Amino acid sequence: MACVFCEIAAGSAPAYFIYRSQRVIAFLDIYPVEKGHTLVTPLTHYRDLLEVPDDLLAEIIRVVKAVAAAQLRSLGASGVRVVQNNGSAAGQVVFHVHFHVIPFYTHGVSGRRALKPDEGEAISRMLAEALRVDDTKGIS
């Protein structure tokens, strides 16, 4: 299998999962912009946004929203940025469609760095627990 996100979806490559349904998964980015940076992607391989069927896209964006709420609630984030790149000209590196859900904090931006295993385990556990509570109220 050539696609790393297909491998993660199949369980043949490791990831710090925070959510899994029959069609959508969410896991931590291994090179986070900020603590809790999460990727939301379908299990099925679609190259980019334009290839994704609308009903699946609706499910993906609901998970994006729930992840954003979980980051605000459980990690103490003050804001959340959603990013979705299509095509190498736009910065897409992994050609399996995905949404970045990136929390931001009042202490300012820490800068990109490799995710440490203990951090990955702790953060993914907190987010997974927060996702079990359905609370998608807006940012105050």
Stretch that binds ligand AMP, among 41-49, 84-92, 102-110, 128-136 (CB under 6 A): 84-92
Nearer to ligand AMP, 47 or 65 (CB): 47
Binder among 85, 119, 126, 128 for ligand AMP (CB under 6 A): 85
d(CA 66, CA 31): 21
Nearer to ligand AMP, 45 or 134 (CB): 45
Catalytic residue among 37, 98, 100, 107: 98
Contact 104, 65 (CB under 8 A): no
Contact 38, 65 (CB under 8 A): no
d(CA 76, CA 91): 28
Active site residue 98: yes
93 binds ligand AMP per the rule CB under 6 A: yes
86 binds ligand AMP per the rule CB under 6 A: no
List residues binding Zn ion (CB under 5 A): 3, 5-6, 45, 96
128 binds ligand AMP per the rule CB under 6 A: no
Number of helices and strands in the chain (H, E):
3, 5
Site for ligand AMP in 20-59 (CB under 6 A): 29-31, 39
Nearer to ligand AMP, 11 or 91 (CB): 91
- What six digits make up the tokens of 105? 């904090």
Contact 55, 23 (CB under 8 A): no
d(CA 48, CA 99): 10
Quote the DSSP letter at residue 87: S
What does the binding site for ligand AMP look like in residue numbers (CB under 6 A)? 4, 13, 15, 29-31, 39, 85, 91-94
Catalytically active residues, by annotation: 98
